[in-house]
Chain A
Amino acid sequence: MTRLYRALLYLYPPQFRRRFGDEMMELFHTRHAAARARGSLARIVFWIGTVVDLLSSVWREHGPWSPRALFISLFGGGGANIRDGLRFVRRSPGVSATIILLMALTIGAASSVFSVVNAVLLKAPPYPDSDRLVLVWEGRPERNIDRNVVAGHEFPVWNESNRTFERMAAIWFAGNVTLTGAGEPKSLTGVRVSSEFFNVMGVQPILGRGFVPREDAPGSGQVIVLTERLWRERFNADPAVTGRKAILDGRPYEVVGVMGEGFSFPMTSLGQHVDYWSPIAEPIREYRGRHFLTVVGRLKPGVSLDEARADMTRVARDLTTEFPQLNRAHEARVMPLHGDLVRDSRALLLLLMGAVSCLLLIGCSNVAGLLLARGLSRQREIGVRLALGGSRLGIARQLLAESLLLAACGAVLGVATTFWIAQAIPSLVPRAVLAVDRIPVDVTVLAFAIGTSIATGLLFGLAPALQTTRVSLADVLQQAGRTISSAGHPRLRRLLVAGQVALTLVLVLGAGLMTRGLLALATTDPGFTTHGLLTANLALPGASYRSAVKQRRFYQDLVDRAGALPGVISAAAINAIPLGGSYSGIGVDVEGAPPPAPGQELSARYRVVSSDYFRTMEIPVLDGRVFAPSDARIAVPVIRWYPQQSVPEGYDAPQPPPMAVINATMAAQFWPNTNPIGRRFKVIFSPWITVIGVVADTRNESLRDGFRPEFYMHDLQEPQAAMSLVVRTAGDPMALSASVRQAIWSIDRNLAIAKITTMDDVVGSTFGLPRLTSSLVGTFALLALGLMAAGIYGLVAFTTTQRLPELGVRIALGADRASVLRMMVLQGLTPAAIGIAVGLATAFGLVRVVEDGMFGVPPLDPATWVTVTALLVLAIVAACWWPAYRASRVDPVIVLRTQ
């Protein structure tokens, strides 16, 4: 960086540089070091500032003959050259249009990807002093868990005994509720927050107020703050909305405030917008060991991340002392809010940025190749101008002005494309991935586009300009009437072709690996039959379905009615639909097992299903039996979350024992070498749960990950308020959506149905991101392949045309046409071979970095490497062969006559 700045100092007049250069370097150095210490954003700001400072002062220092002088020093004759450039554009519209389109395409693609990088990675979140905002997670180093949600008893202690935070707030994703009394029933996403939440974020409501501590006390909290969107959609943007009542799940809540547009923090893990906030208002301190809180904090001014981490480590250690069992080896992890929000998209975006940069370079080197070829056709003109006393520098400047003119045209088109693409992106990419709503094309993006255009225009215009003017006068004048074969051009073009081949190989290989990963994913068997399944997500409002018994009755009724619909084979319910994005985990104690070593505690995923679930999903039963309607318990639910929770009614009456069906992995891990049927286990504060059956493993969370221990509970024993209906149909599942909707509303007219969709779509949506990435990279790779082939074709066509007279003589003297063909093909193959070697080496080095983007395919997958290399060789040979073949067919008589 220091060297770059020293080089830039050469833009100043020599006198100024000699007098002040060293001192300027010193100041630059100090500033640069300070900016580096403050992170990547500060560095970017620093560089922008430096460039502005440089440009404005260089301009001035060039004294009284500036600014025109500066322009002239860069572009030579200024207006005259631009006029010449325009004349050239008019004279050869084909080449010019090709160059402009190439530039537009590559700059448009690069700027579009950059606009996303800018919006997601470079822009700070829109909260005051957002660099002081952090998320605090629970970490469990022994089990390799970095970002666990925080337990009810931990947050209050963290909040009270830290010394580095100005404020801390807890967030509880409460799930969906139904809004009634404001238009149609609507399913809303709410979050419950502790009363300091809005103060932590530093954002105040545009109407009314945030929450006060009193409202966060257990038992109160019947107040909500609306998002601007909900206020507009459902409350007609009523300026007097505060004090009005909103009915959520049948209970009245008083609206106390409305947040401004654009504030919708936090986003749920599924990328849903928040609709409203309400206070937590529960005795969370007593919910010991129940992990459900997300903690956001604002650091005190001047407190560094490291200080906060040290402080929270102390707090966590004290908690472990206080709760040696519950908090054994629990740590607190402080993560910057912005970094935490974009952690999933960072690798992906950098991968895309890398891919599009490859494309940019390939496109630009094609432009350079075209400029070189064009320069050659003008060599006679240039030779004559040189002979008449024209300065070489002047002519080079003119050529450069032309290429910059073309680059500028391309840039304008490219920027227009960027505007268009940036607008379309948010609707194409899952919100959970991007973490932003809008991709603005702002000054930074424009600066990137313009800077890239100028840089590429200079870089890829300069070399051809210098090359073209390096002609020997004698050659030009001697060989008047012929084109001149100057050794310099082919060497530069060969270099360009080798570079293109190397970049293309890297890009195509990346696309190949991704596609293979995607195919592997698409052909993964989830363990159940996805085809012919309809799903509907439901949530019962708490007011009318408060008791577990009522919830159970509703779903039992629903499953019965849905199962009786014509065209339905069977119907069932599950609380978290497979591959739907949510899951629950819970600690497990196995009866008779020795107490686990610290950090070796068992845990398992669990889902709650109705009797016919396994039959409906076609999950094979491996051992024992699955749930039956006769397993219903009087005392529901089975699981108690904290010791003070009351025991359900009828607990001591004679009834079926609590029971579970487990998957094969749980059977193998928790009861190795024994039959698990009849064995018992406990979760948190539950009674003993008996294993009654073993079913095959299913991929419930992700198609990519391996199987985890998982058990199922019966909804007649552990009723749920929110479940999804799954219906196996004989024909097209969507054809039944209307009658399923009717069946739901025949039980309760006021239910909001979140979504009716097919299981195939649910599974398909889990590929959304991999599919998007690989189709983008695949498009870039295809473009690159085409550009590379064009580049090679151009090189071979160019050299054969140049050597046509020589070939004519060879053939006239009896040379074998096949050997001529071979000779000319080798013209293209040699640089391509070098390119392939370089490309393979580069790719080998790179795969380690991008391993994560490959969706589980080993990055050194031999089939992909061989296929991609073969594909490239094929394209290269085809591109070489055609012009070489034409050259070998020349009629020597015609060639020699034209000489």
Chain B
Amino acid sequence: MQTGKSNTTEDRARAALPLTPIAMHILLALVDRARHGLGIAQHVEEFTDGRVSLGPGNLYGTIKKLLETGLIGDADSSADGDAADPRRRYYAISPVGRRALEIETRDLANVLNVARMKKVLR
């Protein structure tokens, strides 16, 4: 395909797939606004009715990975520019992350449709 443009948003998003469940939850939490780690954990717990409770290790392990693959970024780093600041760090979803989430959820939606059709889900 478009081999020359391996750095486009689309390619980077596809390279990050598939998303782990934790990564998906984190990205979903960041869709509407930037949050800090604790905020992400609380939000996820809230919108899953407490069924998903992210432990510190898995939460920040995944955040680290998402930062590395560019799906999220430090929200305040450009504003403050002070990396040594011990205050809470905010994370925001990047265009790549948004695209990856979109592709992944669309795939899931297809699965859901099939499941509905075959009466697995009602």
Instruction: List residues of chain A with CB under 8 Å of any chain B CB.
Output: 12, 16, 19-20, 22-28, 30-31, 49-50, 52-54, 56-58, 60-61
In the complex, the answer to whether B60 meets A20 with C-beta atoms within 8 Å is yes
A20 & B63 in contact (Cβ 8 Å cutoff): yes
Q: In the complex, A579 Cα to B41 Cα: how many Å? A: 59
Interchain CB contact under 8 A, A23 and B37: yes
Interchain CB contact under 8 A, B58 and A28: no
* 17 further A-B pairs in the complex, CB-CB below 8 A; given A19-B64, A23-B56, A24-B59: A16-B60, A16-B61, A16-B64, A20-B60, A23-B60, A23-B88, A24-B56, A26-B88, A27-B37, A30-B42, A49-B53, A52-B55, A54-B55, A56-B57, A56-B58, A57-B61, A60-B61
Interface residues of A: mostly helix, strand, loop or mixed? helix
Is there an interface contact between A20 and B38, defined as CB atoms closer than 8 Å? no
**Contact yes or no, A26 B38, CB < 8 A:** yes
Contact A27 B88 (CB under 8 A): no
Q: Does B36 contact A (CB under 8 A)?
A: yes
> A56 — which chain B residues lie within 8 A by C-beta?
57-58
In the bound complex, CA of A551 to CA of B61 (Å)? 78
CB of B14 within 8 A of chain A?
Answer: no
Contact A22 B60 (CB under 8 A): no
- Per the bound structure, the CA–CA distance linking A27 and B57 in Å amounts to 10
Per the bound structure, the CA–CA distance linking A58 and B60 in Å amounts to 11
CA distance A50 to B57 in the complex (A): 9
Asked if B57 and A30 sit within 8 Å, CB to CB, the answer is no
Question: Does B55 contact A57, Cβ atoms closer than 8 Å?
Answer: yes
Q: In the complex, A337 Cα to B88 Cα: how many Å?
A: 43
Q: Does the CB pair A53–B58 fall under 8 Å?
A: yes
CA distance A848 to B64 in the complex (A): 52
Contact yes or no, B86 A22, CB < 8 A: yes
CB-based contact B41/A27 at 8 Å = yes
Contacts of A12 in B (CB 8 A): 57
Q: Digitize B49-71: 1 where CB-to-A-CB distance is under 8 Å, 0 elsewhere.
A: 00001011111110110000000
- Give every chain A residue within 8 A of B42 (Cβ-Cβ): 30
B85-102 interface (Cβ within 8 A of A): 86, 88-89
* CB pair B88 A24 closer than 8 Å: no
Asked whether, in the complex, the Cβ of B56 is within 8 Å of the Cβ of A27, the reply is yes
In Å, the complex CA distance between A28 and B54 comes to 10
Taken together as a complex, chains A and B put the C-alpha atoms of A50 and B16 apart, in Å, by 28
Known: A50-B55, A53-B56. Is A61-B38 also a contact (CB below 8 A)? no
Give the docked Cα–Cα distance between A421 and B26 (Å): 47
In the complex, are the beta carbons of B57 and A53 less than 8 A apart? Answer: yes
Q: With both chains docked as a complex, state the minimum distance between the C-beta of A726 and any C-beta of chain B, in angstroms.
A: 60
Which residues from B are CB-within-8-Å of A20?
Answer: 37, 60, 63-64
B36 touches A23 (CB 8 A): yes
A61, B60: Cα distance in complex, Å: 10
Residue pairs across A and B with Cβ atoms less than 8 A apart, 6 shown, are A16-B64, A20-B37, A23-B37, A23-B88, A31-B53, A50-B56
A24 touches B60 (CB 8 A): yes
Closest A residue, CB atoms, query B87: A22
Please give me the residue from chain B that is nearest to A25 by CB atom: B56
Residues of chain B with a CB closer than 8 A to A31's CB: 53
By a beta-carbon cutoff of 8 Å, the part of chain B in contact with chain A is 36-38, 41-42, 53, 55-61, 63-64, 86, 88-89
Shortest CB–CB separation between residue B40 and chain A, in angstroms? 9
- Whether B60 pairs with A54 at a CB distance below 8 angstroms is no
A16 to B57, CA, bound (A): 10
B53 to chain A, nearest CB (A): 7
Give bound CA distance, A26 to B58, whole Å: 14
Q: Name the B residues within 8 Å of A22 (CB-CB).
A: 86
User: B41 to chain A: which residues have CB within 8 Å?
Assistant: 27
Closest-by-CB residue of B relative to A27 is: B56
Q: Are B88 and A57 in contact (CB under 8 A)?
A: no
Residue among A26, A49, A61 making CB contact with B61, cutoff 8 Å: A61
Q: Would you call B53 and A28 a contact (CB within 8 A)?
A: no
Provide the bound-state CA to CA distance between A30 and B41, in Å. Answer: 11
Q: Is the CB of B38 within 8 A of A23?
A: yes
**Chain B residue, CB-CB nearest to A24:** B56
State whether A27 touches B38 (Cβ < 8 A): yes
- Which single residue of chain B is at the shortest CB-CB distance from A58? B57
Closest approach, in angstroms, between the C-beta of B121 and any C-beta of chain A?
Answer: 26
Q: In the complex, what residue of chain A is closest to B83 when comparing beta carbons?
A: A19
Q: Shortest distance in angstroms between A808's beta carbon and chain B's nearest beta carbon?
A: 59
Whole-angstrom distance between the Cβ of A42 and the nearest chain B Cβ: 12
Whether A49 pairs with B38 at a CB distance below 8 angstroms is no
Contact B64 A23 (CB under 8 A): no
A24 in contact with B57 given A16-B64, A19-B64, A30-B38 (CB within 8 Å): yes
Partner of B56, one of A19, A28, A60: A28
Q: Are A49 and B64 in contact (CB under 8 A)?
A: no
A16 vs B59: C-alpha distance in the bound complex, in angstroms? Answer: 12
**Are B38 and A54 within 8 A (Cβ)?**
no
The smallest C-beta distance from B91 to any residue of chain A, in angstroms, reads: 10
Are the CB atoms of A49 and B57 closer together than 8 Å? no
Residues of A within 8 A of B36 (CB): 23
CB <8 Å contact, A57 and B53: no
User: Given A23-B38, A26-B38, are A57 and B58 neighbors across the interface (CB < 8 Å)?
Assistant: yes
Q: Which residue of B lies closest to A57 (CB)?
A: B57
- Nearest-neighbour CB distance to chain A for B49, whole angstroms, equals 14
Determine the chain B residues whose CB is within 8 A of the CB of A50 once the complex forms. 55-56
Nearest-Cβ distance from residue A725 to partner chain B, whole angstroms: 60
Interface centre among B37, B56, B59 (most CB of A within 10 A): B56
Residues of B within 8 Å of A52, CB to CB, are 55
**What chain A residues lie within 8 Å of B57 (beta carbons)?**
12, 24, 53-54, 56-58, 61
By beta carbon, the residue of chain A nearest B36 is A23
Chain A nearest CB, measured from B29 CB (Å): 14
In the complex, A12→B55 CA distance in Å? 14
Q: How far is the CA of A52 from the CA of B54 in the complex (A)?
A: 11
Task: Kindly state the separation between the CA atoms of A25 and B53 in the bound complex, as whole angstroms.
Answer: 16
10 nearest A-B residue pairs (beta carbon)? A53-B55, A57-B57, A24-B56, A20-B60, A57-B61, A53-B57, A23-B37, A27-B56, A57-B58, A27-B38
In the bound assembly, the distance between CA atoms of A487 and B98 in angstroms comes to 65
What is the CA–CA distance of A23 and B87 in the complex, to the nearest angstrom?
A: 9
Q: Which residue of B lies closest to A16 (CB)?
A: B64
Q: Which residue of B lies closest to A22 (CB)?
A: B86
CB distance from A451 to the nearest CB of B (A): 18
With A22-B86, A49-B53: A27-B61 Cβ-Cβ less than 8 Å: no
Chain A residues near B37 (CB-CB < 8 A): 20, 23-24, 26-27
Q: Write out the residue numbers on chain A whose beta carbons fall within 8 Å of the beta carbon of B55.
A: 49-50, 52-54, 57
| Shortest beta-carbon distance from A535 to chain B in Å | 56
In Å, the complex CA distance between A50 and B59 comes to 12
* Residue in B36, B37, B60 whose Cβ sees the most chain A Cβ within 10 Å: B60
Give chain A residues whose Cβ lies under 8 Å from the Cβ of B59: 24, 27
Closest to B61 in A: A57
Most chain-A Cβ atoms within 10 A of its Cβ — which of B36, B38, B53, B86?
Answer: B38
Least distance between B33 CB and chain A CB atoms (Å) = 18
Min Cβ gap A345→B in Å is 32
Q: Which of A19, A49, A57, A60 is packed against the most chain B CB atoms within 10 Å?
A: A57
With the chains together, A57 CA to B41 CA distance in Å?
Answer: 16
Q: How far is the CB of A51 from chain B (nearest CB, A)?
A: 9
Chain A residues within 8 Å of B64, by CB: 16, 19-20, 61
- Cα–Cα distance between A281 and B42 once the two chains are bound (Å): 51
C-alpha spacing A637/B39, complex, angstroms: 72
The CA of A19 and the CA of B85, in the complex, are separated in Å by 11
Which residue from chain B places its CB closest to the CB of A60 in the assembled complex? B61
**How many Å lie between the Cα of A57 and that of B61 in the bound state?**
7
* A798-B91 Cα distance, complex, nearest whole Å: 62
Q: How far is the CA of A836 from the CA of B63 in the complex (A)?
A: 54
What is the bound-complex CA distance between A701 and B49, given in angstroms?
Answer: 52
**Closest B residue, CB atoms, query A54:** B57
A residues in contact with B86, CB < 8 Å: 22
Q: Which residues on B sit within 8 Å (CB–CB) of A54?
A: 55, 57
Residues of A within 8 Å of B53, CB to CB, are 31, 49
- How distant is the Cα of A58 from the Cα of B58 in the complex, in angstroms? 9
A798 to B60, CA, bound (A): 51
Q: How far is the CA of A12 from the CA of B59 in the complex (A)?
A: 14
Q: Collect the chain B residues with CB atoms within 8 Å of residue A53's CB.
A: 55-58
